Chains A and B, each alone.
Chain A
């Protein structure tokens, strides 16, 4: 049983396209996150949702829009993709009180050509 799953695992697309990455967790957590990891392994938080409410919204282009249809899902939509968006995107979840113990998904490697 996969705790935090992401689809797709790999995503190759051209500049200017719009794409989505889906994330689902079956841990019963009420908080979910999106992180971006670049080629130098820097791991930066992008968004955090608690009970479908946006809690953390780091300085990311507004081309990125998270959507949380329910507590178990947090999807990431990216419009007008650019070369610099190429990275690995990780979804994570945690209980609100134990935010420090986050469970990460396997990552989605996005390549923009």
Chain B
């Protein structure tokens, strides 16, 4: 069971690059790594997903080392609107028999972007 650990909070300033690292020492072979963003009073929103190496989309990059025991979400040039809670999710939905899938969210990192 891949437990995840993230920093509780981070502060940054507008225009800076922000890197949030998630530790998942017990990640399993079939597990993917996903990051979500959550604003107050809203449901989480998918940001990016990866299995290994580096993944980049229009909003973020995800760096995963070869051992896959951690991952780093990189947000380039943050703005005030990036202030939110960021969750690292590691898991495998399970295939075949019931109750074999496990999806584990980290405790979330509260990112505060200051002007």
Contact = CB atoms under 8 A, between A and B. Distances in A.
Given A44-B105, A55-B101, A100 B43 contact: no
Interface stretch (A60-68, A70-78, A104-112): A104-112
Q: Indicate the size class of the contact surface on chain B.
A: 20 to 34
A57 B99 contact: yes
A32 to B, nearest CB: 12
A56 B46 contact: no
A64 to B, nearest CB: 15
Interface string B31-66: 010100000011111100100000000000000000
A31 B44 contact: no
B44 A104 contact: yes
Interface residues of A, number: 29
B93 A48 contact: yes
B77 interface: no
A87 interface: no
B94 A56 contact: yes
Interface in B80-105: 85, 87, 89, 91, 93-94, 98-105
